[in-house]
Amino acid sequence: MSIPQERRLVTAIPGPKSQELLARKQAAVPTGIGTTLPVFVTRAGGGVLEDADGNALIDFGSGIAVTNVGNAAPRVVERVQKQVADFTHTCFMVTPYESYVQVCEKLNQLTPGDHEKRTFLVNSGAEAVENAVKVARYATGRQAVVVFDHGYHGRTLLTMTLTAKNMPYKQGFGPYAPEVYRVPLAYPFRWPGENPAEEAYAQAVDMIEKQIGAQNVAAVVIEPIAGEGGFIEPAKGFLPKIAQYCRDNGIVFVADEVQTGFARTGDLFACEDEGVVPDIICTAKGIAGGLPLAAVTGRAELMDEVHAGGLGGTYGGNPLACEAALGVLETIEQDDLVARARRIGEIMLPRLRAMQERFPVIGDVRGRGAMIAVELVEPGTKNPNPAAVQEVIKRCHAEGLVVLSAGTYGNVLRFLPPLVIPEHLLEEGLGILEKAFS
Ligand SMILES: *Cc1c(COP(=O)(O)O)cnc(C)c1O
């Protein structure tokens, strides 16, 4: 790593240069494009982001679970540099190239299940989810799509409709796409009953059968761990039951692993934790180290249904992004980042649980691997406490630790460090967090 792996604060956060750039941003970019922390980055790598003022911040965000292999990861840089000099675009649908096929072969091999698969490439997570729904509708001849409370699937018309949370994702952007139905998620911390997996499953099935009719459902789309919704790991047993219900009723089970994929959760894909095999899996974010790429991987017989020309897009599987993805997959394998993710969880979870003992504002500590969150409450209750999240984040940012919020109630702090973060920075970041809580 060429960037020193240390936190270094030489100005207030944000510093004067970043503030100047922020003023230009405000004059040039619409307010709809928000900014979590307005430090303007000039270089990044390992667990560190450097800004225009010469500060070095500890990264607990990975650009929202994208730079799992670290920023400017060496194998990614090397492949992309060679590719950019060779050719930058032909359009795979016009004159193809090998790296696209290699990425698809790799994903067919690495995603859960040993059935025959096909993969195609698009540009964003939302585009992958939209395409999964297109394939499921085509293959089943059905229209309805079932999604879950707290789900997040993107910002296009269909995927914003699939998303649960109104503000900020949907407010004012209706009317929404038709034939989308939402059912309960087995959210352990907030489920009112004793047995969230059984009870949420029963309610979901009841709604499907009474309100939609299972024979009308093309796809069930679910995140194996709800990301934007607050890193909600569904109660054990819930995902396998839903997958089984889909199998029994000819419904395409779509796993949205856009945030959970590529070693983030301590498995290559989060579905592996309970041995769930999706019919279609959507991936993006961590796939290409920051270059825009996403994939739809599914059962060959479903995917091959669609007529030639029915799927695709101008930039999907751009050669630079494909080379980056191959560099990411090599890095995950050769540096055993699945094990690194588990190790990060083993360091973070006990420290956060110890903080929970000390600070009653922490209602829940959860997550797997390097996808970890704390849910903040008004002490002694389960009432969401988004103000405390904002306060903690403000203090962390001022100390040079990049952390993000999440959650339907805005009361979750989420941690997504790059899997290559050195342990001393992980420990230092946790120390800053602890200080912010006290
Ligand atoms: C980020 C995300 C998306 C949308 O991906 P984009 O690349 O932003 O379109 C979809 N699903 C999940 C689970 C995500 O976290």
pLDDT of 373-411, one tens digit each?
Answer: 999 999 999 999 999 999 999 999 999 999 999 999 999
Give the confidence band of 1 by pLDDT, cuts at 50, 70, 90: low
Give nearest CA residue, ligand 1 atom 5. Answer: 125
Q: Which residues line ligand 1 (CB under 6 A)?
A: 124-126, 129, 152-154, 223, 227-228, 256, 258-259, 284-285
What CATH number corresponds to the domain at position 163?
3.40.640.10
**What is the C-alpha radius of gyration for the chain, rounded to an integer number of angstroms?**
21
What CATH number corresponds to the domain at position 409?
3.90.1150.10
Query: Under DSSP, is residue 341 helix (H, G, I), strand (E, B) or coil?
Result: helix
* Residue 94 counted as domain residue: yes
pLDDT for 186 beyond 90: yes
341 touches 104 (CB < 8 A) = no
Shared domain check, 397 and 372: yes
Distance 352 CA to ligand 1 centre (A): 27
Shared domain check, 88 and 62: no
Shared domain check, 429 and 321: no
d(CA 21, CA 428): 28
Choose the residue to mutate in 222, 233, 259 for probing ligand 1, maximizing ligand atoms within 8 Å of C-beta: 259
- For the CA of 155, the closest atom of ligand 1 is 9
Number of domain units in the chain: 2
d(CA 138, CA 123): 21
Shared domain check, 84 and 63: no
Q: Residue 351 is encoded by which pair of tokens?
A: 């420290």
Instruction: Report the amino acid identity of residue 70.
Output: G
Give nearest CA residue, ligand 1 atom 11. Answer: 153
Give nearest CA residue, ligand 1 atom 10. Answer: 153
Distance 4 CA to ligand 1 centre (A): 31
62 touches 68 (CB < 8 A) = yes
Shared domain check, 261 and 271: yes
Shared domain check, 349 and 303: no
Distance 126 CA to ligand 1 centre (A): 6
- For the CA of 154, the closest atom of ligand 1 is 4
pLDDT for 132 beyond 70: yes
If we measure between CA atoms, which residue out of 438, 368, 435 comes closest to residue 399? Answer: 435
- For the CA of 260, the closest atom of ligand 1 is 13
Q: What is the mean pLDDT of residues 32-57?
A: 97
Shared domain check, 315 and 236: yes
Shared domain check, 113 and 66: no
Question: Cα dihedral sign for 265, 266, 272, 275?
Answer: negative
Distance 186 CA to ligand 1 centre (A): 21
Strand partners, 365: 374
- Using the structure block, give the residue that is written with the tokens 């819930």: 238
Shared domain check, 168 and 150: yes
Q: Residue 199 is encoded by which pair of tokens?
A: 């009870």
Choose the residue to mutate in 285, 287, 408 for probing ligand 1, maximizing ligand atoms within 8 Å of C-beta: 285
Print the domain residue range for 33: 16-72+336-437
Distance 257 CA to ligand 1 centre (A): 9
Distance 299 CA to ligand 1 centre (A): 22
**Cis, bond preceding 14 (omega within 30 deg of 0):** yes
**∠ at Cα 303 (299, 308), nearest 5°?**
160
* Residue 417 counted as domain residue: yes
H-run or E-run covering 74: helix 74-86
* Residue 407 counted as domain residue: yes
Please, is 390 exposed, middle or buried when counting C-beta atoms within 10 Å of its C-beta (0-12, 13-18, 19+)? middle
The pLDDT value recorded for residue 181 is 98
Shared domain check, 61 and 117: no
Instruction: Tell me the pLDDT tens digit for each residue of 266-289.
Output: 999 999 999 999 999 999 999 999
Give the domain-ending residue among 308, 334, 360.
334
155 touches 284 (CB < 8 A) = no
Give the domain-ending residue among 305, 334, 363.
334
pLDDT for 2 beyond 90: no
d(CA 65, CA 58): 15
If we measure between CA atoms, which residue out of 283, 374, 313 comes closest to residue 93? Answer: 313
* Residue 60 counted as domain residue: yes
* Residue 381 counted as domain residue: yes
Shared domain check, 268 and 138: yes
Give the domain-ending residue among 313, 334, 355.
334
Shared domain check, 116 and 231: yes
Q: What is the mean pLDDT of residues 324-348?
A: 98
* Residue 9 counted as domain residue: no
